[in-house]
Homo-oligomer: A and B are copies of this chain.
Amino acid sequence: MSSKKPVAIVFDTFGSVVDWRGSLVAEMKELGGKRGVNGDWAAVADAWRHGYHRMLDEVTTGTRDYGLLDDLHRELLDEAMRDVGVTGFREDDLRDINLGWHRVKAWPDAVAGLTRLKTKYIVGSLSNGNVRLLVDMAKGANLPWDVVFGSDMFSRFKPHPDTYLGSARLLNLEPGEVMLASAHNGDLANARKYGLMTGFFLRPTEFGPNQAIDLAAEADWDVIADDIEDMATKLDT
């Protein structure tokens, strides 16, 4: 591990800090029960997230414009429901399910780990979510951010450099004084490309019990930890 320490740590949020899949599946299951709507909710959540990744690729390659994640999520939800064959939700149900992203739960170690890290570092969210989504999520899950960097502050999604470098600029720091912390090797590879420090930790069930990716650090990241509490320990807090 590098002996150099960052001034600020910005966290990838969906999957890394919050359990989007477990939270969305639980909410859809509950609402489906109330409405008498049946479905393979894990399949819907996975299709939804798959759509998101495809949409990101479209924005990155320029075939789609940047838009608020809330709005893109809504469009992708309709598609996911259709693809998995779920019918019977009303329009206001779908709107409510979409807002489930604002209510996702933190992984068990997240609040304690961030609270420790916050004593010594600036801790922020650096997410493709929009500011409002991140603010609502932080309030609901008690995430103690010092600052949230939503993609609508840059009108760009990661992996565009304006996001990684924009967080450093707004903190008045050199890129090398900021660490991206993420459970996603790809995210860290991009952050390193633009000069940020890198911290990896494991979320081996983010994508469910059969997860096949991001089960180990795939490069010599500056910090490699089991979870955010372990990262707090490795960063001396």
Contacts and interface: CB of A to CB of B under 8 A. Distances in A.
Interface of A: 68, 70, 118, 122, 130-132, 135, 138-139, 146-148, 150, 152-153, 169-173
A146 B139 CA distance: 7
Given A122-B135, A135-B171, A153-B170, 20 more contacts: A68-B172, A70-B172, A118-B139, A122-B139, A130-B170, A131-B147, A131-B170, A131-B171, A131-B172, A132-B170, A132-B172, A135-B146, A135-B147, A138-B146, A147-B147, A147-B148, A150-B170, A152-B169, A152-B170, A153-B153
Contacts of A130: 170, 172
A175 to B, nearest CB: 14
Nearest to A70: B172
Contacts of A135: 122, 146-147, 171
A150 B169 CA distance: 12
Contacts of A146: 135, 138-139
A150 B131 CA distance: 14
Contacts of A150: 170
A167 to B, nearest CB: 9
Nearest to A147: B135
Nearest to A131: B170
A132 B124 CA distance: 12
A72 B131 CA distance: 28
A131 to B, nearest CB: 4
Contacts of A122: 135, 139
Contacts of A147: 131, 135, 147-148
